Amino acid sequence: MADVFSPGLLLMLMMSSLDWLSTPGSAFLFDRDQAKSAPLEPHFTECVSRDLETFRCWWSPGSFQNLSSPGALRVFYLRKDSPLSEWKECPEYNHLNRECFFDTSHTSVWLPYCMQLRSQNNVTYFNEEDCFTVENIVRPDPPVSLNWTLLKVSPSGLSYDVMVSWEPPPSADVRGGWMRIQYEVQYRDRNTTNWEALEMQPHTQQTIYGLQIGIEYEVHIRCRMQAFTKFGEFSDSIFMQVTEIPSTDFTAPLTLILIFGTVGILIVIMLIVISQQQRLMMILLPPVPAPKIKGIDSDLLKKGKLEELNFILNGGSIGGLQTFSPDFYQDEPWVEFIEVDEEEADSREKEDDQASDTQKLLAPPQPISDHRTIRCSETFRHPEEVFDHGSCYSADRLEEDSKVQMDAPPPGQAGDKESSTEFAERTPALDRCRAPPVQTQTGTPQTWVNTDFYTQVSNVMPSGGVVLSPGQQLRTQESTPASEHGAQTKGKQRDESGDMDGQRQKEPQFHLLVVDPEGSGYTTESNCWQNSTPSNSPNPGAGYQTIPPPPVEIKPAASADANRLPYILPDSPQLVAPVADYTVVQELDTHHSLLLDPTPIQSPPPCPSQPPLKTQIPVEYITPDLLGNLLP
C-alpha cells in the first residue's frame, strides 16, 4: 500500500490549490469545460435522480449540429451488475428534451452505470467519467407547502421569532425511509441580496430568531440527501412580515406589578431599618472611642464648671495637668502701677534699659536671686496710680529689664481714685529690696522709653493706654477679708498646696501691705516678705486685679518674709511691687480694660536665703468663674 501514497502525495501537492471535490457523477461538466478549444463532441450534460428510484440523463450534440436532430444520437448504457453485462439502449427517450429516462425497473442503486452516445454511423462518443452510481446523483425535489407562524415578539417590540414549517417533497419516499433528507432554510431581507443560511437539519420545521419588525423577509428551502453532497433546487419563496403590534395589554400589568412589587419591598426594607435602627447604627457606624484625658471629665467642660476644671487643670487632683506654674495662685487679682520719674528714670533707665535690654537679650533667664535693680522709691505722680519708685535698687534682676512703663492714669476707672489714694497709702509697702523693674511713669501718658523687651501689661486704660506692670511688683493683700476670701478661694483651687494655712497665717501679716484700694490687688511685695495670700475677693469696679502668685514657691520665703513683715512694713517705703515680666490678662473689665494677673512674687536680693522665686513667669490664669468672683 505504500506505493499508492507517494504518487498520491505528489498529486496532492500539485493539485491542492484546485478545488477538486467532486463526485464521480459530477464529472460530466468538468471535462467539457476544460476542453474548450477542441470541437465539442456529443456528450451528456447531466444525469440526475430525484427519488433514488429513477433517474434521467440529458445529452447534447455539442458542436456537431448535424447530429442535433432527434434520433441522430442514441444512448446506450451499461449497468455493471456483473462482469458480463452489456451495453443497452435507453429504455425511454424524450427527444424533445434530449433526455433518457430510466424508470424503476431499470434503475439499480449502488450499481455503477456508464452512459454512451452513438451516432447513426456507429461512432461512439464515450467518456469513462460518465459512469456513476445512482445514489450519488440524487438531487431531491424542493419541499412544498411552506408556511410560517409568529412565535413571539420581543418585549421591546423590535424583533420577533418565527416558525417555518413545510412538507417534504412528494417525490421522495421519506415515509418509507428510503430517503433521508436534510433541509436547508435560507432567508433574507427582501431589499438585500445576501441570503442567510441556517444549519442543515432533517426536520420539517425550523425556527428563525431575531427578525425585525417592519421588514419583509423572504424564505426558501432546499434539501439534499443525508451524507451526500448534491442539493436540489430551491423551493418557492414565501414572504413574511410583522408590523408594529401595540401589545400594551400584556406589558402594562407587568409593569404595574413590577412597580408595586418594588415599592412594597422598599417599604418593608424601610420598616426593618427603622425598627432596627439602633442595631443597624451600631453595625454600620460603630461608635468611635472619644479621647479622654486622664482626670478630666469632658462633661465638666460641657456644663461650664470651670472652677472644678481649673482645679483639675491646675493640679488640684492627683495627676492633674501640669500648668506652667502650678504654684501660682490665681485668686487674687491685682494690678500694679509703677511709675518712674521721668528725669531720673529716663536718664537712668535709659541706660538701664539698654543694659537691661541687652542683658535681657543675652542673659539666660535667671532666678530672682540675680542682681536686680530695685527701685525702692516710688512717687506717685498721678493721683491715681502714679508711683515713684524709690531709689532703692537691689541687685540686678532679670525682671528689671522689663521696665514696664506703667500707664500712670488708669483712665476710666472712677473707683480708681480711691484706689489710688489707697494705693498711695500703701506705697510704702513697696519693697525696697527690690527694684521694680517697672518704670513708673509720670503723669504723662506712658512713655515707652525704658520699656524692656518683655513686660507685662497690668491694665489697659479705657483711654487706650496700657498699664504695664513692673517685673517685681509684689502683690499684697488688699484686705484681710479679701485675702481671706481669696485664700479660701485659692484654697479651693489648691488642694494639694498646704500653703493655705500658711497663707492665711500670713494674711494678717500682710494686711497692711495690701495695696489694692479697691480690692484690685496691688500687691507689691518684696521678696523678703512674700505675699502669697490671694485676694480673690471681688473688687468692685476694680480695674486692677491681680492674682496672687502661687504660694508654693514663696512658701519657704513666705515664712521668712512673714517674719520680716512687721519689720519691714512700716519702714519700707512703698515700693512699687516689682512687676513680673509676663503677666496674664485676667479679664476685661466693664470698661474694656485688661485686667492683668499679678506678677509672681520674686525674692529680693537682700534676702538671699530665700530661694529665688520663679521669675516672671506669671502664668497666672484666671478662669471665668474666678473672674466672676473678681468682678463686681
Partner 1 sequence: MSGQMRPACSVWLLLVCLVLYSRLKVAASAPTCTNGQAGCHVLSLANLFDRVIQHSARMHGISNDLHSEFELYFLPSKNQIGRVSRNCHTSTILTPNGKENAQRMAREELTEVILKLLVAWGDPLWHFHQSLAHNHEFSNFSSNKSLEMSDMVHELRKGVQKVIEKMKMLGIIGNSLGGLGSSESLLAPVSAEWRLMKDYDLLYCFRRDSSKIQNYLKILKCRIVPEHGC
Establish if 463 lies at the interface with partner 1 (CB under 8 A). Answer: no
8 binds partner 1 (CB under 8 A): yes
Q: Based on CB atoms, which residue is closest to partner 1, 135 or 496? A: 135
Check: CB of residue 370 under 8 Å from CB of residue 471. no
Q: Is 295 a binder of partner 1 (CB under 8 A)?
A: no
3-state secondary structure of 155: coil
Give yes or no for residue 250 binding partner 1 (CB under 8 A). no
Choice between 205 and 237, CB closer to partner 1? 205
R_g of the chain, CA atoms, integer Å? 64
- Dihedral angle over CA of 215, 218, 224, 228, nearest 10: -50
Burial 296-324 (b: 16+ CB within 10 A, else e): beeebeeeeebbbbbbbbbbbbeebbebe
Binding mask 48-77 for partner 1 (x = CB under 8 A): ----xx------------------------
What lies within 8 Å, CB to CB, of 192 at 6+ separation is none
Query: Is 156 a residue that touches partner 1 (CB under 8 A)?
Result: no
DSSP states of 503-537 as a string?
A: HHHHHHHGGGGB--TTS---B---SSS-------S
Binders of partner 1 in range 82-101 (CB under 8 A):
83
Give the per-residue SS3 of 438-466: CEECCCCCCCCCCCCCCCEEEEECCCCCE
Whose Cβ is closer to partner 1: residue 111's or residue 321's? 111
Residue appearing with cell numbers 495662685: 329
| Nearest distance in Å: CB 234, partner 1 | 23
| Binds partner 1 (CB under 8 A): choice among 88, 95, 152, 180 | 180
Q: Does 15 bind partner 1 (CB under 8 A)?
A: yes
3-state SS, residue 211? strand
Question: Nearest approach, Cβ of 280 to partner 1 (angstroms)?
Answer: 20
Contacting residue, 47, 114, 398, 552, with partner 1 by CB under 8 A: 114
The only residue of 33, 96, 175, 299 in contact with partner 1, by rule CB under 8 A: 175
Is residue 135 close enough to count as binding partner 1 by CB under 8 A?
Answer: yes
Residue with Cβ nearer partner 1 (16 or 121): 16
The residue whose grid cell reads 490678662 is 585
Q: How many residues bind partner 1 (CB under 8 A)?
A: 45
Give the residue, chosen from 70, 97, 178, 347, that forms a contact with partner 1 under the rule CB under 8 A.
178
Q: How far is the CB of 269 from partner 1 (least distance, A)?
A: 23
Tell me the three state secondary structure of residue 228. coil
Look up residue 459 and give its three cell numbers. 491694665
Distance CA 567, CA 570 (A): 7
Of all helices (H) and strands (E), which one includes residue 416?
A: helix 414-426
Q: Binding segment for partner 1 among 80-88, 306-314, 322-330, 551-559 (CB under 8 A)?
A: 80-88
Q: Per CB under 8 A, which region of 3-11, 191-199, 207-215, 558-566 contacts partner 1?
A: 3-11
The C-alpha angle with vertex 460 and arms to 468 and 426, in degrees rounded to 5, equals: 55
Which of 5, 209, 239, 567 is the binder for partner 1 (CB under 8 A)? Answer: 5
Q: Report the relative pairing of strands 87-89 and 73-79 from DSSP bridges.
A: antiparallel
Q: Is residue 129 near partner 1 by the rule CB under 8 A?
A: yes
Residue closer to partner 1, measured from CB, 108 or 119: 108
Shortest Å, Cβ 128 to partner 1: 5
Q: How far is the CB of 8 from partner 1 (least distance, A)?
A: 5
- Would the CA dihedral through 33, 36, 40, 41 be positive or negative? negative
205 binds partner 1 (CB under 8 A): no
Q: How far is CA 544 from the centre of its chain?
A: 53
Q: Give CA separation, 253 vs 93, 105, 248, 257, in Å.
A: 71, 67, 9, 6
Q: By CB under 8 A, name the one of 33, 86, 128, 249 that touches partner 1.
A: 128
Q: How far is the CB of 74 from partner 1 (least distance, A)?
A: 20
Beta carbons within 10 angstroms of residue 615's beta carbon? 25
Amino acid in position 576: V
How far is Cα 598 from Cα 618, in angstroms, rounded to an integer? 7
Q: Is 34 in the site for partner 1 (CB under 8 A)?
A: no
**Options 86-94, 224-232, 385-393, 589-597: segment touching partner 1 (CB under 8 A):** 224-232
Among 56, 80, 230, 305, binds partner 1 (CB under 8 A): 80
Pairing of strands 43-49, 55-60: antiparallel
Position 176 contacts partner 1 (CB under 8 A): yes
Stretch that binds partner 1, among 37-45, 128-136, 333-341, 478-486 (CB under 8 A): 128-136
173 binds partner 1 (CB under 8 A): yes
Among 64, 195, 228, 234, binds partner 1 (CB under 8 A): 228
Report in angstroms how near the CB of residue 130 gets to partner 1 at its nearest. 7
Q: 556: part of which helix (H) or strand (E)?
A: helix 551-571
User: Which chain residues interact with partner 1 by CB under 8 A?
Assistant: 1-2, 4-5, 8-9, 11-12, 15-16, 20-22, 24, 27, 52-53, 80-81, 83, 104, 107-112, 114, 128-133, 135, 173, 175-178, 180, 226-229
